[in-house]
Structure 1
Amino acid sequence: MTDRAIIDWPAWTDSPPGRYVLDWEQTQLDRVVSDVFGYHALQLGLPQLDALRENRMPCRGLVLDAASGASAPYTYPRTARGAVNGTSGAGDVGGDHPGTAAQDASGLHAPGGRSAVWCDLLDLPFEAQSVDLIVMPHTLEFTSDPHRLLREAERVLMPEGQLIILGFNSLSLWGVRQSVGKMAGRPFVPAAIDLIAFTRLKDWIKLLGFDLERGRFGCYRPPLASDQWLARYGFMEAAGDRWWPIFGATYMIKAIKRVRGMHLVGPLKVKKPVLAAGLAPVATPNTRNHTE
């Protein structure tokens, strides 16, 4: 893990390639989370994205980690770790309680209608099977143990809960430039660890019992540093979706937690017997009018 990658993340999101990536990711998230229902939803890291703004769950939380570059530029407030908006309820992920945990010395706030939760992302302070939706935008690329973070997400998600992951695609032009740049000490995209391939991430989530519901790639323009040059390659968006979709700079995965042996209980529907055409049901004897 390099300090440079963590420090550069807030500045990178304000750069032309950073805005280009975040705009695509925000559009995808707005479309996907609007159809997810329940009570509790969490966004882990990356406050530059408002991943839950189109979601209508009553309790939505932004989970930040003082040790993670994905939580920059927020700084850890002077409250107890694991506090929610200045309260100590570790199991509460929502509610509009007044407090200071969502604000730092720079006056930065969590998005409206959210609660800020400060904790270790590898040890989430939530009960097992208590959350309906978790969004992890580039969070796996900043944690020291992505496997453990995925296991924590699986633990707190309810059966049939949904997990959305966004990340940089290592099998892309951006991934190639990132690999070459890291060897030269000048990485193109900020990440504390190596980029995680889409195929590898699919294997990880399947081992945890998730079913992949949707996967999408985006941002097909070359890794360029100016708005002018990025605009010149705008034609590659439609071409990439059609001809080389797996080589997009970023990807989004939507997965559902399955619990084997569990069956959803619903209203029991009794099917009426279907009679063949032209046949009448056999008459049953009436005990009161029946004579021997």
Structure 2
Amino acid sequence: MSDRPIIDWPAWIASPPGRYVLDWEQEQLDRVVSDVFGYHALQLGLPQLDGLRENRMPCRGLLLDAQSVASAPYTLPRDAGIAGPVAPVWPAPAPRHAPEGRSVVWCDLLDLPLETQSVDLIVMPHTLEFTSDPHRLLREAERVLMPEGQLVILGFNSLSLWGARQSVGKVAGRPFLPGEHDLIAFTRLKDWIKLLGFELERGRFGCYRPPLATDQWLARYAFMESAGDRWWPIFGAVYMVTAIKRVRGMRLVGPVKVKKPVLAPGLAPAATPHPRNRNS
């Protein structure tokens, strides 16, 4: 790896620490999204990671930020595989790392061209770390998610060796991780999603090896994976949060079952008199 600062995803993903993180995240997403059912699933950002690979929803889309794309708007086709109304977005060639078979749409992630309550699953791999307004992006995700829809967020943990190296590197002008904004702490993210009405379902940390730049050194510290998962789980370099959108006053019920009246113990229904006994 060269000595230049790592400032963009393509360069960082191709590096040994980038592949190390991406492999862990892909494994976690494959396990989580396989059990989420519905009709529409979206991934916001990071086309190098196929967050919906194991999901079986019929409509799976990849939304990418088009703020840097200077082009005339066009109308999104209705058969693009994206839930929501027809709205103007910005066309651009699909990135070469985009998963095959995905509907790729370039748009403003802070103003999603989707109907309210129209998506069943949203995956945001490091998306909050690259946006200028992460809280607004979370509000957009909450808006388009259906009640009981799921939100999966991945990010770098600021309370880790990787977060410490990133803080020191930014001061020295040599950041280790990509992204122009500060890392979002796991505790801060939990407060945000709770304020928006989400219920935290699960959280998981991973990647406990030190922030090293070569495969050789990363391999030497492979023993820290099991040790970190057991002894210091909250200090993993990466976290994954799964949350469910809850709607107040809404209650999901199943089929109504008609219950038969229960008689008090020791009582029996009165016998119907026989017609022959009525005139006696």
- Measured after TM superposition, the shift of residue 113 of structure 1 is 2.5
Tell me, in whole angstroms, the C-alpha distance in 1 between the residues paired with 2:220 and 2:251: 52
- More deviation in 9-18 or 263-272? 263-272
TM-score, normalised relative to structure 2: 0.88
TM-score, normalised relative to structure 1: 0.84
Question: 2:42 maps to which residue?
Answer: 42
RMSD, aligned α-carbons: 2.7
Question: 2:109 maps to which residue?
Answer: 121
Tell me the SS of whatever aligns to 1:221: coil
Question: 1:151 maps to which residue?
Answer: 139
Question: 1:73 maps to which residue?
Answer: none
Larger Rg: 2
Question: 2:73 maps to which residue?
Answer: 80
Q: Gapped runs of 5+ residues in structure 2? A: 84-89
Tell me, in whole angstroms, the C-alpha distance in 2 between the residues paired with 1:195 and 1:157: 25
Q: Does the 8 Å contact 2:7/2:177 carry over to 1?
A: no
State the one-letter code of the partner of 2:26: Q
Identify the match of residue 103 of structure 1 among 74, 93, 110: 93
- After superposition, residues 1-292 of structure 1 pair within 5 angstroms as 8-67=8-67, 76=69, 80=73, 84=76, 87=77, 89=78, 93=82, 103-104=93-94, 108=96, 110-272=98-260, 281-286=267-272, 289=275, 291=278
Tell me, in whole angstroms, the C-alpha distance in 1 between the residues paired with 2:273 and 2:109: 72
1:91/1:113 Cα in 2 relative to 1: closer, same or farther (>3 Å)?
closer
Tell me, in whole angstroms, the C-alpha distance in 2 between the residues paired with 1:77 and 1:287: 91
Q: Does the 8 Å contact 1:137/1:166 carry over to 2?
A: yes
State the one-letter code of the partner of 1:35: D
Identity of aligned residues (%): 77
State the one-letter code of the partner of 2:13: T
- More deviation in 141-150 or 257-266? 257-266
- Measured after TM superposition, the shift of residue 132 of structure 1 is 0.1
Tell me, in whole angstroms, the C-alpha distance in 1 between the residues paired with 2:10 and 2:248: 41
Tell me, in whole angstroms, the C-alpha distance in 2 between the residues paired with 1:193 and 1:211: 26
